[in-house]
Structure 1
Amino acid sequence: MKLREFRESMDLTLEEMADCLSNDEHYISIGQYLDIECNEIMPDYHFMAIFKEVFPFVSIDEVFF
């Protein structure tokens, strides 16, 4: 499963997903999220750490690799 497939399986919009992955220390804009989803840029450690915190039931390997 890739990131877009995961987001769609959770019935989240781009905006909702970006909001889920933003916190007080690390803001993810819709554009940044879309760049990651479309493989334009690689997600950094903070992105993956927040992703795992928000979605602990998902394998990082399945979504990103």
Structure 2
Amino acid sequence: MESQMEGPEIIAGWGAGYSEIIKENKLFEHYYQELKIVPEGEFEQFMEAMREPLPATIRITGYKR
């Protein structure tokens, strides 16, 4: 019997990781530039802030019977 640590599943599984996410979208940038809600001189700073990852939160609640 094959153990869980052998075989192709482990190669393509959690240990393989994820490819880098490209945080660039020209249509998104164009949309916000056309809205003119961000001053022209601050647009690049706005886009840098938008590329920052958001924090992740996990909530575990109790269960009563």
Q: Same fold (TM over 0.5)?
A: no
TM-score, normalization by structure 1: 0.29
Q: Which structure has greater helix proportion? A: 1
| Higher relative contact order, chain-length normalized (CA < 8 Å, sep 6+) | 1
Please give the TM-score of this superposition, normalised by the length of structure 2: 0.29
Choose 1 or 2 for highest CA Rg. 2
